[in-house]
Structure 1
Amino acid sequence: MARRAGSADLPLHSGRVPAWLGSRMARLGAVVTEAIVHHYGREEFLRRLAHPFWFQSFGAVMGMDWHSSGITTSVIGALKRGLGPLSGELGIHVCGGRGSHSRKTPQELTAIGERVGFDGEMLAKASRLVAKVDSAAVQDGFDLYLHGFIVTDDGKWVVVQQGMNGESRLARRYHWLSEDLKSFVEAPHVAIDGKNQGEIVNLTDRRAEASRRGQLDLLRDLGPDRIAREAATLDGRGKTPAPPEAPFLPHLVMPAHHDVRPKDVMIRRLHGALAAAADRGPADFSELLLVPGVGARTVRSLAMVAEVVHGAPCRFADPARFSLAHGGKDRHPYPVPLKVYDETIGVLKSAIGQAKLGNDERLDAIRRLDDQTRRLERTATGPSLPAFITDERRRSHDYGGRSVFGWEPPPAEAEDGTGSAGS
């Protein structure tokens, strides 16, 4: 039986992903997907998408705002663009999206089903039902505005959808996974992300089975008009006792502050990644390190990307840490280092290309980075988080730093205020 796996608070953020970042997110998302599928298979990739902690970390390593609701829209969009050309090879298809794109999901599923051979009409029905359950059966104050449906050639799927609450300025993300799903109306979620907003009407809870039957009986025996009169009569007479609390689940809190603070990062894991990059870089990426001023920095990013590919679920409790790979579009924790970002994509694409030819040496080098990170994080030391971020900002111009505010100027120009802000 599918189950709930956790929750999170996601502050609502406005703004758009700039084209220079969006295109890179599509490429990085595609190559990370290829690496996961190569090592662990398509079903494991679906399981990752269904894990709210991993999903947030995946968006953060792409350079999106690490704590905000915008990660959901941007990750689904990036995967749709990046995996589209690879759908025939990988057997993974991304449907839906935000707003009007979400309403096209059933038609997309039907068309893909006709092309690859699964029952597209059945999955289109599943898409509609999933949306109905989260918008009507789970009445938690969040209005759905995004619906992403990712399906494989053999008909397995994951749904990631999100609703917003304008008054609280929060979003809630819902994850569904077809694996082990026996019912759409009884405890179907893998996870629901979001802060508790008070009393919630959740007719998908196992404890609501009697309520679901009772509502059908009432509708059949009394009719809607009499039900409305009875409800008006009962109004104001007090509430029924609340159901027992559900078992404790992990709760990921995405704070309102945009900057990355020490409390947001497990520093020992950051130090482990830095130490692993220094230890494995010269041995495994010697050609890469010939690029002055960029290569060693890229290996540090690769260590964090390697964790996204290989890490266990418990490794993603601090999504902010993954923003330290490629920064953020709004300059938090620092501008996106485009030279590093592009080199990361290049190394991963080269490794995947070699693996397709039967040579796993480069992909294995990336996996060794992740293995070494876990071994070294128990003993490794390094800079404090503020010192690390300060140094990264100081070097930002050399790394091709860019944000929605423009290119990063050289340090001297930044200090005297003469730097350009053009984008």
Structure 2
Amino acid sequence: MAKRAGSADLPLHGGRVPPWLAQRMTRLGAVMVEAIVREYGRDELLRRLAHPFWFQSFGAVMGMDWHSSGITTSVLGALKRGLAPLAGELGVHVCGGRGRHSRATPDELTAVGLRTGLDGAALAQASRLVAKVDSAAVQDGFQLYLHGFIVTDEGRWVVIQQGLDDGRRQARRYHWLSEGMTGFLDTPHAAIEGRGQGEIVNLADRRAEASRRGQLALLGDLGPDGIAREFARLEPRPAAAGAQPLLPHLCLPDRHEVRDGDVVARRLHGNLAAAAERGPVDFAELLLVPGVGARTVRALALVAEILHGAPCRFTDPARFSLAHGGKDRQPFPVPIAVYDRTIGVLKSAVRGARLGCHEELAALKRLDDQARRLERAAGGPSVEALIAEERRESHRYGGRSVFGPEPPPGPRSLGERA
């Protein structure tokens, strides 16, 4: 049985993803998904997408605002664009999106069924039911505006949809996973992300079964007068014993800047130490991608954790924004040169895996393994110091944000590589 995995607060932010970042997110997202599928399989990809902490970290490492609800729209859009040409080979199909694209989801799933032999009508029905549960059965004040449906050739799927509350300037993301589901009205969510704001009506919770039966009985047997009498007899009741315990809760603040408290320092220091130790061994000699230097390997250490890390590793999504920065210049401008070389390294590794040579993908896994070993003892700069360094060096790495290219801070040294 699928169940909630956690929750998070997501502040609403306006604006669009600039084309220079959207194109790179498409390329990076596609090659990362392909690496996961080749290493762990399609079912594991769906489990990760259904994990709210992993999903937020995935968006952060791609250069989106690390704490914003916009990660949901931009990541799903990037995957839809990037995986479309690979759908036949990878067996992963991304449907839906925001606004009118969400309403087209059933038709897109029907088309997937025609191409793959899956029951497209059943998938379309599942899409409609998921949307109905989160818009009608779960009444929490958030209006759905985004619905993404990702299905594999085996017919297994994950749904990621999001609602907004304009009055509170907040968003709530809902994760569904088909694995283990026995129905749509018995605690079906893999996760619901959003701020706890008191009691809500959730008729999709297994504890609401008696309520659902009672509502049908009232409508069928008592009529309007009977319903009025029952309502008058209602009295406040104490909370039921054995209520569901609190789940892990990811609280993402409204502020843009990344602070020390947003990052688990020992994990960050492990990433940095592993990059320093493994880089000369695995990347300069093994991958031989032109221009790869220490800064790119630092970004790859964080990307490698997205590919190989366990769920418990993603409680601090802000850490992954230190790979490629953010479009709003937080924590620092997107280092275009580093971003492009990250994509180049991953493409080289995946291209080798297609030909049966998995050594380059294995090098990325060794980088992640080493980070976990070293984090127990590794030290390093504070988050603020690292961000300050990145901003000083940003122009050298082709730093860019929605405000434009990053200007040089002063005289710069030549001959150094990203």
Shorter-chain TM-score bucket reads: over 0.9
Structure-1 separation of matches of 2:238 and 2:277: 59
Q: CA deviation at 1:100?
A: 0.7
- Contact map agreement 1:175 1:191 (CA 8 A) in 2: yes
| 2:51 equivalent to 1:32 | no
Query: Closer, same or farther in 2 for the Cα pair 1:388/1:8, shift >3 Å?
Result: same
Structure-1 separation of matches of 2:37 and 2:201: 38
Residue of structure 2 equivalent to 1:129: 129
Alignment-mate amino acid for residue 118 of structure 1: L
Query: Closer, same or farther in 2 for the Cα pair 1:230/1:97, shift >3 Å?
Result: farther
Secondary structure, aligned partner of 1:410: coil
Match of 1:295 among 293, 296, 303: 293
Structure 1 residues 227-261: Cα deviation after superposition (integer angstroms, max 9, x where no partner): 66457x639x7544444542121011011111000
Alignment-mate amino acid for residue 274 of structure 2: A
Unaligned runs of 5+ in 2: 413-418
Aligned length, in residue pairs:
410
TM-score calculated relative to the size of structure 1: 0.94
Match of 1:368 among 346, 366, 369: 366
Q: CA deviation at 1:180?
A: 0.1
Residue of structure 1 equivalent to 2:117: 117
Structure-2 separation of matches of 1:33 and 1:341: 16
| 2:386 equivalent to 1:388 | yes
Alignment-mate amino acid for residue 23 of structure 2: S
Structure 1 residues 92-151: Cα deviation after superposition (integer angstroms, max 9, x where no partner): 000000011000000000011011011010010000000000111111111111000000
Residue of structure 1 equivalent to 2:213: 213
Residue of structure 2 equivalent to 1:234: 232
Residue of structure 1 equivalent to 2:405: 407
Structure-1 separation of matches of 2:392 and 2:235: 61
Displaced runs of 4 or more, over 6 A: none
- Contact map agreement 1:330 1:405 (CA 8 A) in 2: yes
Alignment-mate amino acid for residue 207 of structure 1: R
Structure-1 separation of matches of 2:384 and 2:247: 31
Structure-1 separation of matches of 2:348 and 2:87: 19
Q: CA deviation at 1:310?
A: 0.1
Provide the alpha-carbon RMSD of the alignment. 1.7
Alignment-mate amino acid for residue 140 of structure 1: D
TM-score calculated relative to the size of structure 2: 0.95
Match of 1:336 among 321, 334, 337: 334
Secondary structure, aligned partner of 1:285: helix
Query: Closer, same or farther in 2 for the Cα pair 1:124/1:136, shift >3 Å?
Result: same
Alignment-mate amino acid for residue 393 of structure 1: R
Q: CA deviation at 1:69?
A: 0.5
Secondary structure, aligned partner of 1:222: helix
Residue of structure 1 equivalent to 2:273: 275
Alignment-mate amino acid for residue 358 of structure 1: G
Greater CA deviation, 212-221 or 55-64?
212-221
Query: Closer, same or farther in 2 for the Cα pair 1:413/1:195, shift >3 Å?
Result: farther
Secondary structure, aligned partner of 2:395: coil
Secondary structure, aligned partner of 1:256: coil
Structure 1 residues 319-347: Cα deviation after superposition (integer angstroms, max 9, x where no partner): 00000000000000000000000000000
Q: CA deviation at 1:167?
A: 1.5
Q: CA deviation at 1:90?
A: 0.3
- Contact map agreement 2:47 2:177 (CA 8 A) in 1: yes
Structure-1 separation of matches of 2:289 and 2:108: 46
| Percentage of identical aligned residues | 71
